[in-house]
Structure 1
Amino acid sequence: MDSKELRNCLGRFATGVTVVTCEDGEECHGLTANSFTSVSLDPPLVLVSIDRKTRAYQKLKNNRFIVNILSIDQEETAMHFAGKPCEELPFKWEKSDYGHRIENSLAYIECDPWAEYDGGDHVLFLGEVKNFEYQEGEPLGYFCGKFSRIEEK
């Protein structure tokens, strides 16, 4: 099977864009991820899928994390955490009991670690939702390897 063509096929599934943040001592870490989904409402669980080759994989192991759902005007923030850092931070940190989250995100979901599962070249991290907040706004979308708009009908 041609993995590049499979990736192109899977890219036809439009998603939102998140930045998953966590802390390691005094340091804040984050990565851009579109592999995010809700799993359960009782108990409240969410899932993020993280590539084993990333530094974030080691930082997330057995660690609290925050899923920051980005709005349409946070594309630079997504790029910053996708390995193309800006000289000047395109966002502001906001401190919470679960770590640092991204100020003015469309939503945030603060999680305690629940379980980790083998996902081939990825690890599936399940988090138990401990706190969340959201606001009205337009989400940042991702489709066919590019940022996109998600419009209401």
Structure 2
Amino acid sequence: MDSRELRNCMGHFATGVTVITCDTEDGTHGITANSFTSVSLDPPLVLVSIDRKAKALQQLKNNNFTVNILKEDQEDIAMHFAGRPLDEPTFQFEKGNLSTRLKDTLAYVECEPWAEYDGGDHVLYVGKVSDFTYNHGRPLAYYCGKFSDVLPK
């Protein structure tokens, strides 16, 4: 199977864009991820898939984390946490109940570690939701390898 073509095929599934944040003794860390999904309402569980090569992989292991769901105008924040740091960050952090989160996002979901699974070249982290909030606005979307406006205005 051609992995590049499989990736192209999977890219046709439009997703929202998140930044996963967590705290360690070294400070607050974040990684951009579009592999995020709700798993269960009882108990309340979500799943995040992180590439095994990502620096954030070990920072998330057995650690509280927050899923920050980005708004349509937060592409620069997504790029910052995807490894293209901003010269002057346009975002601010705020302390949550379990971990630090980004201010002014479309939504956030704070989680405690629930389980970790082998996902091939990724690790699947399942978190138990302990707090969340959401705001009105339009999501930042990702489609076919680029940020996209997939919702009608």
Q: Structure 1-normalised TM-score?
A: 0.97
1:20 aligns with 2:26: no
State the SS of the aligned residue for 2:73.
Answer: helix
Deviation at 1:150, TM superposition (A): 3.5
State the SS of the aligned residue for 2:62.
Answer: coil
- Structure 2 distance, partners of 1:38, 1:132, is 13
Larger displacement relative to structure 2 (115-124 or 20-29): 20-29
Partner of 1:149: 149
Equivalent AA in structure 1 for residue 147 of structure 2: F
Deviation at 1:152, TM superposition (A): 4.8
Partner of 2:95: 95
- Write out the 4+ residue segments of structure 1 that deviate beyond 6 Å after TM superposition: none
Partner of 2:55: 55
Partner of 1:129: 129
Partner of 2:108: 108
* Contact 1:139–1:150, Cα closer than 8 Å, also in 2: no
Deviation at 1:3, TM superposition (A): 0.7
- 5+ residue gaps, structure 2, are none
State the SS of the aligned residue for 2:100.
Answer: strand
CA deviations on 1:52-93 (whole Å, 9 max, x unpaired) are: 111100000000000000000100000000000001112111
Equivalent AA in structure 1 for residue 146 of structure 2: K
- Structure 1 distance, partners of 2:26, 2:51, is 24
* Contact 1:70–1:106, Cα closer than 8 Å, also in 2: yes
Larger displacement relative to structure 2 (111-120 or 95-104): 95-104
- Structure 1 distance, partners of 2:152, 2:127, is 29
- Structure 2 distance, partners of 1:41, 1:150, is 27
Larger displacement relative to structure 2 (23-32 or 41-50): 23-32
CA deviations on 1:10-61 (whole Å, 9 max, x unpaired) are: 0000000000000112500000000000000000000000001111000000
Aligned length: 153
State the SS of the aligned residue for 1:13.
Answer: coil
Equivalent AA in structure 2 for residue 144 of structure 1: C
Deviation at 1:137, TM superposition (A): 0.2
Equivalent AA in structure 2 for residue 148 of structure 1: S
- Structure 2 distance, partners of 1:62, 1:115, is 8
- Structure 1 distance, partners of 2:81, 2:90, is 10
Deviation at 1:96, TM superposition (A): 1.5
- 5+ residue gaps, structure 1, are none
State the SS of the aligned residue for 2:19.
Answer: strand
State the SS of the aligned residue for 1:72.
Answer: coil
